[in-house]
Amino acid sequence: MDKAPDDAVQLQRRYYAETAASYDTMHAQESVDSPYCLALVSGVLRTLKIQSLLDVGSATGRGLREFAAALPGTLVCGVEPVAALVQQGVVAGVTKSITLLQASGEALPFADASFDAVSEFSILHHVPDPAAVVEEMLRVARRVVVIADSNRFGQGSWPAKLLKLLLYKVGLWHAFNFVRTRGKRYQISKGDGLFYSYSVYDSYDQISRWATRILVLHGGESRSRSWFGPLLTAEGIFLIAIREPCES
C-alpha cells in the first residue's frame, strides 16, 4: 500500500532529523548559500526598504546569517518544522544573530501581514501541497514574497522539457507523474531525501492574484540565449513578487 501524505511528511522529517548534524555540509551548495542569490535578493529588499523578513523552512538557519549581515537593521526570522535542525542551529550559534522558531510552513504562527517580506529557498519541492505553504506566505507578507526553488520544465533533455510542458498545459502532468511514481507522487534521493516534482511556475497564478509586480529570473548566472528562458532553460527559478501599497 502506498504511503499516505502524512506518512510521506514524517518520512522526510525523519530524514532531516537523522542528518541534522551534517546538514550544513550536505547542503552547502543550495541557493540560500549562493553569492548570486544573496546579492540579488538582498539588493531588491534594500531597494524596497524592507524592515522585516521571515524565511520559511530555514533548516539550521545558516543561510539567514548572511542575509542578516547584508540587511543591517532588518529583523530576520526563520521557521523550521524539524526540531533537530532548529537545535543544530542553536548549537552552531546561528540563533545569536537571528530568531529561529520551530513551526510548519502550512500553519505559520503569525498574524496577517506580519512581515514586510517572506521567503523560501528550496523547500517547496519537499512538501506534498506547495500551494498551502505559498498561501500562508502570502498571508503573512505585506510587500514581498521570494520563491527560490526548482523548475521541472528546465530539467532534462529538450524533448523531455517540451513533453513535460505539453502534459502540464493539457492538464495531464499530475496523472502522468502519479503513474511514473507508482502512486506515491514523490521520489527519494540520498542527498535530498524525499522530494516532489515541482516548478515555481506551478505557483505563479496563485502568487499573481496577490502581487502587483512579479520578477521571474534564472536561479543562477545563465549564459543561455534562448527565447524560452528561464522557463525551459533554468533548473531553478527566482520569483520575486512585489505588492505595491494601495494609493489613498
Q: Tell me 186's DSSP state.
A: E
Separation CA 149–CA 229 (nearest Å): 16
Residue-level pLDDT at 2: 40
Where is average pLDDT lowest: 56-70, 108-122, 142-156, 166-180? 56-70
Of residues 221, 23, 231, 248, the one with CA closest to residue 122: 23
Residue-level pLDDT at 3: 44
CB atoms within 10 A of CB 164: 21
Decide if pLDDT at 18 tops 90. no
Residue-level pLDDT at 248: 45
Q: Evaluate whether 116 touches 52 at the Cβ level (below 8 Å).
A: yes
Cα dihedral across residues 191, 193, 195, 200: positive or negative:
negative
Where is average pLDDT lowest: 19-23, 84-88, 135-139, 199-203? 19-23
CATH architecture label of 5-242: 3-Layer(aba) Sandwich (3.40)
Decide if pLDDT at 32 tops 70. no
Each residue's pLDDT tens digit, 43-67:
999 999 999 999 999 999 988 888 8
Each residue's pLDDT tens digit, 186-217:
999 887 889 999 999 999 999 999 999 999 99
Residue-level pLDDT at 76: 94
Residue-level pLDDT at 10: 80
Residue-level pLDDT at 65: 87
Mean pLDDT of the chain: 89
Separation CA 134–CA 136 (nearest Å): 5
Residue-level pLDDT at 30: 62
What are the residue boundaries of the structural domains of the chain, listed by start? 5-242
**Reported confidence tier of residue 247, pLDDT bands at 50, 70, 90:** low
Q: What percentage of the chain carries pLDDT values higher than 70?
A: 91
Separation CA 146–CA 132 (nearest Å): 15
Residue-level pLDDT at 28: 55
Residue-level pLDDT at 16: 74
Which amino acid appears at position 218 of this protein? Answer: H
Residue-level pLDDT at 149: 96
Of residues 53, 59, 10, 9, the one with CA closest to residue 30: 59
Q: Tell me 1's DSSP state.
A: -
Q: What is the pTM of this model?
A: 0.90
Residue-level pLDDT at 1: 31
Q: What percentage of the chain carries pLDDT values higher than 90?
A: 68
Select the more confidently predicted residue: 164 or 11.
Answer: 164
